[in-house]
Amino acid sequence: MAFLSEQLLFYFSIGIVLFMPGWFLVQFISNRKYSRTSKEPLFSSIEIFVISFGLSIVFIDFLMILMGKFGILLTRNNILFILMLLFAIFLFWKKTKYFKKSTKYKSTETINASTITIILILLLTILIKTAYLRNTIFPTSTDLGHHMYWSKQISETGKLPVYEKIKIVTDNNAYKLTSPQPISDFIIGEHLIFSAINMISGIPFVSYFPTLILFLINMMSILALFILTLRLFPKNNKVAIITLLLIGPLWALSSPQAKFVSGGVIGNLLGNLFIPLCLYFYYRAFNEKKSVFLTLALFLTMGMFYTHHLSGLIFLFVVAFTLLFLFLFFIKEIIINKKNVLSFEIVNNYFKLFFSKSNIFFLIFAISFLLFVYTPAYLINDATKTVVGTPSKSTRAGLSFTQFKYAVGEPRLALGVLGLFIISFLSVFKKNKNDFLKYSILFGWATSLTLMTIKPGWLHINLPSGRIANYVNFPFIIIGSFAFVWLVRFFKKNKYSYLSPKVVSLFYLSIFTFIFSAGFYDNSQTLKSKSNNQKALETFLSSKYLNQHLDEKKHIVIKDHNYLKADGWIKLFFMKDYNIPLSRSYFKRYNDPTKQREKCTLWMISEPNSDRGKKCYNDIGVSFAIINQKIDDSQFKKSKMWKIFSGDNIAIYYNK
């Protein structure tokens, strides 16, 4: 019964936090004058569903930031009160003269083969991901633990988090802990929605809920790509359906899909939701010349920069490359086709698009918000400098072509490259200038990410190439799907009817076999055989025990990251500081020539009896060490420390 009520609260909180605010916004926009007069609805049902989700995330982020900055405690009651107030305003608005009943559009929707295919693809996608997540649903991943520390801090204090942590430094030949120092690794948008869900549902952080929210974000990003493709290729559903197939059940588990869900890579998953949604709105704004879409695009872009700076930076490159290709297309129009693409009418249209009331209002809001309400930590700490420049490590110097091929997926890359050739051909020889924008977006998206992944030095960026590679498959999937559908139509044309139908069928069959075998092989390689929850439960039990005996003022804890399961979650039991417990990091990190790191955390576990190990304990005042006793017990046995806890794997030592 408790499980059932918990579940109901969980779905209620998802609905009220992650769908309702965005749905209100969509309803409001859809009721505007220009929308009511158009021949077809502004958004289709799937678009409303996906857009509501994306807008809600940004809306909730800004709402909670505003609440925090205006001194309103972030509690369940306060958040619910404001959301209910919004609901009341919405109902009131529907009764006023400003609300016009929406036009009844004649529905042409039918349950046809395409509908059933899409449903089956979605079913298969959810089935495969669920099967994988069954063994990873128990919270163990380090990244998720790190993020949930900040979300829990928000929930516990009711205030916006201050991204700081203590550090070990050397001062006059003595080691000491600093006061909390600012850190730029985290961005507030990654944490607020989890706090809101936790506060409203009451489900603890160390549970299934963070992973399920990430699963939802991942599935919505798949649908975001689907609606973007539907808009880019409105005359042919097949391109969007093939896109759904290539992003859904095939390669469903590898990065950045279900593996990122279980791994808690929040920023990347949200980035993969926001990038297609932003492109969707920018495309519609410029294609349909509707400024409200530009406002929504700017709103989502701003939300992305308050959520994940890497995604934001990648998006800037996508936009820059899109503009470059658009410029080349315009030049081609002027020089080759002798068209006046910069007539007064066109310039006037763009002026109206940019300088509409909604855009100006939003830009004032955005600048005020950035300057006076909340500036992301990475801007305050000037962390942007660290991502610009010559690659500082081999992992930032770009992937090899083989690595790139596996990051995209071999068949997806092959189809994508073919698609790029087809798009180039169509751009040069086809006269329809309405297609330039979409071709520029697709070309800009694919080439910018390819260069950022393979040749980051050319673009002067200094970021882990493997992380950028997680974004690269989206444009190649859309372009590849377009290529596939284009090829099918190409062969169907009468003038190629000399080809035997058997040969054409064999061609399709071989492509599908190639795609399916590669996609499902990738899935099979990622599936985990069993859960590691028992070791994680031991970590949690020992952490709870230690927390009961911790003196907040006196006791500092160290733990090992190499041999403990779910150790990234220990800090959620203490909630003292992001860096408490101190951690013996991966051994290779202590030998990184590009980044000098303190070694006390290494010595305190690897050699607690050595002079330097003892000095670290004494100088810093570390009282407890959590270790894997199967690996590290021998050196602690020789020390003067007390062994106070013993499990199957974990031992806790007390330094008196």
Q: Tokens for 634?
A: 């021998």
Nearer to another protein, 133 or 154 (CB): 133
Judged on CB neighbours under 10 Å (0-12, 13-18, 19+), 402 is: exposed
Of residues 608, 617, 656, 604, the one with CA closest to residue 636: 608
Q: Tokens for 529?
A: 């055989």
Q: How far apart are CA 615 and CA 611, in angstroms?
A: 6
Q: Measured from the CB of residue 334, what is the shortest distance to another protein in angstroms?
A: 32
* 456: CB partners within 8 A, 6+ apart: 391, 396, 397, 398, 462, 463, 465, 468
Rule CB under 8 A: is residue 211 a binding residue for another protein? yes
Write down how long the chain is: 656
Residue with tokens 């290529």: 483
The binding track of 181-210 with respect to another protein, each residue x by CB under 8 A or -, is --------------------------xx--
Nearer to another protein, 241 or 461 (CB): 241
Residues 211 and 261: beta-carbon distance below 8 Å: yes
Q: Tokens for 4?
A: 């059932």
Of residues 654, 652, 629, the one with CA closest to residue 641: 654
* Chain residues 5-24 in contact with another protein, contact rule CB under 8 A: 7, 10-11
Instruction: Give Cα separations from 42 to 105, 110, 257, 359 (angstroms).
Output: 11, 20, 30, 18
* Chain residues 523-582 in contact with another protein, contact rule CB under 8 A: 531, 533-534, 537-538, 541-542, 545, 549
Near another protein by CB under 8 A: residue from 181, 337, 424, 646: 646
Q: Is 617 helix (H, G, I), strand (E, B) or coil?
A: helix
Near another protein by CB under 8 A: residue from 31, 44, 358, 635: 44
Rule CB under 8 A: is residue 394 a binding residue for another protein? no
The size of the interface with another protein (CB under 8 A), counted in residues, is 62
Rule CB under 8 A: is residue 215 a binding residue for another protein? yes
Residue with tokens 């939300």: 303
Near another protein by CB under 8 A: residue from 9, 86, 183, 212: 212
Nearer to another protein, 44 or 606 (CB): 44
Q: Which stretch binds another protein (CB under 8 A): 51-59, 187-195, 450-458, 639-647?
A: 639-647
* 363: CB partners within 8 A, 6+ apart: 298
φ, ψ for residue 280 (rounded to 5)?
-55, -50
* 410: CB partners within 8 A, 6+ apart: 518
The binding track of 50-89 with respect to another protein, each residue x by CB under 8 A or -, is ----------------------------------------
Near another protein by CB under 8 A: residue from 234, 360, 497, 509: 234
Near another protein by CB under 8 A: residue from 16, 74, 219, 252: 219
Nearer to another protein, 49 or 93 (CB): 49
- CA Rg value for the chain: 27
Q: Measured from the CB of residue 327, what is the shortest distance to another protein in angstroms?
A: 30
Q: Measured from the CB of residue 626, what is the shortest distance to another protein in angstroms?
A: 12
Rule CB under 8 A: is residue 216 a binding residue for another protein? yes
Rule CB under 8 A: is residue 35 a binding residue for another protein? no
* Chain residues 279-298 in contact with another protein, contact rule CB under 8 A: none
Q: Which stretch binds another protein (CB under 8 A): 188-196, 322-330, 340-348, 635-643?
A: 635-643
Residues 481 and 415: beta-carbon distance below 8 Å: yes
Residues 299 and 55: beta-carbon distance below 8 Å: yes
Interhelix angle 291-305/357-368, nearest 10 degrees: 10
Q: Measured from the CB of residue 136, what is the shortest distance to another protein in angstroms?
A: 10
Full DSSP string of 52-102: HHHHHHHHHHHHHHHHHHTT----HHHHHHHHHHHHHHHHHHHHSTT--PP
Q: Measured from the CB of residue 64, what is the shortest distance to another protein in angstroms?
A: 24
Enclosing H/E stretch for 502: helix 501-526
Q: Which stretch binds another protein (CB under 8 A): 61-69, 170-178, 211-219, 311-319?
A: 211-219
φ, ψ for residue 624 (rounded to 5)?
-130, 145
Q: What does the buried/exposed string (b/e) look like for 404-429 if buried means 16 or more CB atoms within 10 Å of the residue's CB?
A: beebbbebbbbbbbbbbebbeeebee
Q: Which stretch binds another protein (CB under 8 A): 40-48, 167-175, 377-385, 584-592?
A: 40-48
The binding track of 595-624 with respect to another protein, each residue x by CB under 8 A or -, is ----------------------------x-
Rule CB under 8 A: is residue 1 a binding residue for another protein? no
Of residues 581, 575, 579, 547, the one with CA closest to residue 156: 575
Near another protein by CB under 8 A: residue from 16, 196, 200, 230: 230
Nearer to another protein, 182 or 234 (CB): 234
Nearer to another protein, 144 or 446 (CB): 144
Q: Measured from the CB of residue 572, what is the shortest distance to another protein in angstroms?
A: 15
Q: Measured from the CB of residue 434, what is the shortest distance to another protein in angstroms?
A: 16
- DSSP 8-state code for residue 388: B
Rule CB under 8 A: is residue 30 a binding residue for another protein? no
Strand partners, 12: none
* Chain residues 97-156 in contact with another protein, contact rule CB under 8 A: 107-112, 114-115, 118-119, 122-123, 126-127, 129-130, 133-134, 137-138
Q: Which stretch binds another protein (CB under 8 A): 3-11, 431-439, 502-510, 580-588?
A: 3-11
Near another protein by CB under 8 A: residue from 27, 237, 462, 562: 237
Residues 601 and 168: beta-carbon distance below 8 Å: yes
Q: Measured from the CB of residue 125, what is the shortest distance to another protein in angstroms?
A: 9
Strand partners, 171: 174
Q: Measured from the CB of residue 219, what is the shortest distance to another protein in angstroms?
A: 6
Full DSSP string of 235-258: T-HHHHHHHHHHHTTTT-SSTTSH
Q: How far apart are CA 582 and CA 561, in angstroms?
A: 10
Nearer to another protein, 52 or 301 (CB): 52
Strand partners, 642: 654
Name the residues that contact another protein, by CB under 8 A.
3, 7, 10-11, 40, 44-46, 49, 107-112, 114-115, 118-119, 122-123, 126-127, 129-130, 133-134, 137-138, 207-208, 211-212, 215-216, 219, 223, 230, 234, 237, 531, 533-534, 537-538, 541-542, 545, 549, 623, 640-648, 652, 654, 656
